[in-house]
Structures are given as structure tokens and as C-alpha cells.
């Protein structure tokens, strides 16, 4: 029959659809802020560069915060700048539209940005998926 899932698929698909219905308007979620948190460990004789890690936090008006990792050794200031540029676009957007926002961030700049843009985009993408998971419970 058209429009009917096999019995084995009906329950999981139905559960997903029911959980998504909770998030249709008037339930809204908006990004209110994006910030980068740096954590570091001092260098050792075996490893001359400081071992630094960077995490991006995407915060929402519902009190949820998603986390993603955006470390790029030696280029962290550039990654921070890229995330700052993304923040101006993302503030006010619905964080559950992960694929749409990813496409917008990836295609918006004229120049592609290489590893710097990739690290920033990756961290924000992880944080958005984290938020989507939290929103679904």
C-alpha cells in the first residue's frame, strides 16, 4: 500500500515523527550567543608547542548549550575570528536547522578558507548537533 510503512518500521518512524512534532511552532529556540573557550596544558620537552584545545559553545534562549571542538594548533586566533564571523550570522537562528545552517556558513564566504574555516565550521557543526540532541531529549 502506498503511504504505509511495513509493520517493523512503523513504530520507530512514528516515534521520531511524534518527537519532532513537539518542536514545531509555537515551540521556538533561538541562538543567543556563541563563544570560544580555550583550555591548555604547558609544553613539555618532548612537545615544544603548547597543547591547547578550543571548544565552541552555542547558547540558546531555552538555556541549552551545545559544545563542539575547534582546535587548530598555531592558528587559533584565525579560527576564533571565523567563529566570530559565524556568530553574527547565527545569532537569532534556530539551531535545530543544522544542515541548512552548515550550508549557509560553508557557502557564504567567497573564499573557502582552508583548514581555518574547516576547523571553525566543524566546531560549530558539532555544537549544533549537540543542541539538536539535547532538544530531542
Which strand ranges, in their side-by-side order, compose the sheet holding 51-60?
31-41, 51-60, 65-69
pLDDT in tens, the chain (137 residues): 444 444 444 444 445 545 554 555 556 899 999 999 998 776 666 665 566 899 999 999 999 999 999 999 888 899 999 999 999 999 999 999 999 999 999 887 667 778 999 999 999 999 999 999 998 88
The pTM for the full model equals 0.75
Domain boundaries, the chain: 29-136
29-136 is classed CATH 3.40.50.1970:
no
**CA of 31: how far to CAs of 13, 43, 47, 81, in Å?**
28, 36, 38, 18
92/72 Cα distance (integer angstroms): 27
71/54 Cα distance (integer angstroms): 5
Amino acid at each position: 500500500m502506498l503511504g504505509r510503512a511495513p509493520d517493523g518500521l512503523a513504530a520507530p518512524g512514528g516515534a521520531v515523527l511524534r518527537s519532532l512534532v513537539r518542536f514545531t511552532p509555537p515551540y521556538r529556540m533561538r541562538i543567543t550567543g556563541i563563544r570560544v573557550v580555550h583550555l591548555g596544558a604547558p609544553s613539555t620537552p618532548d612537545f615544544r608547542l603548547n597543547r591547547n584545545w578550543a571548544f565552541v559553545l552555542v547558547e540558546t534562549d531555552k538555556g541549552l548549550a551545545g559544545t563542539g571542538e575547534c582546535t587548530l594548533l598555531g592558528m587559533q586566533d584565525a579560527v576564533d575570528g571565523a567563529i566570530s564571523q559565524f556568530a553574527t550570522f547565527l545569532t537569532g537562528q534556530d539551531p535545530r536547522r543544522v544542515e541548512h545552517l552548515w550550508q549557509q556558513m560553508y557557502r557564504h564566504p567567497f573564499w573557502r578558507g582552508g583548514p581555518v574555516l574547516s576547523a571553525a565550521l566543524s566546531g560549530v557543526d558539532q555544537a549544533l548537533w549537540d543542541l539538536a540532541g539535547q532538544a530531542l531529549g
